[in-house]
Amino acid sequence: MKLKPVEIDRIIEMAWEDRTTFDAIKFQFGLTEQQVIELMRNQMKPKSFRHWRARVQGRKTKHQKLRSFESGRFKCNRQRAISNNKISKR
């Protein structure tokens, strides 16, 4: 899958957000968790990637099935202001 630079930037931003699940990224961009990890590895400096992996590995908020709450936002509060965003255009 060939992603535009603006899509790559948005995926990276979503991956760094604590409350945005990998399921939300898959819903919006069609990338699995493993594909997001590979994208992050290729787009980030090695030290930044290691920091991100340590941060998200095992984090319950990044995995929909591990969350302890049913309802919640999977989009950031600035998402409506971001153009080229499929969810905000519904």
- pLDDT for 43 equals 94
- pLDDT for 48 equals 93
Crossing angle of helices 22-29/33-43, nearest 10°? Answer: 90
- pLDDT for 86 equals 57
- pLDDT for 2 equals 87
Q: Which pairs from 46-53 meet CB under 8 Å and 24+ separation?
A: 52/15, 52/16
The first and second tokens of residue 67, run together, are 């969350």
Which parts of the chain sit beneath pLDDT 50? Answer: 69, 90
* Domain ranges (residues) in the chain: 5-89
CA distance 79 to 40: 21
- pLDDT for 56 equals 85
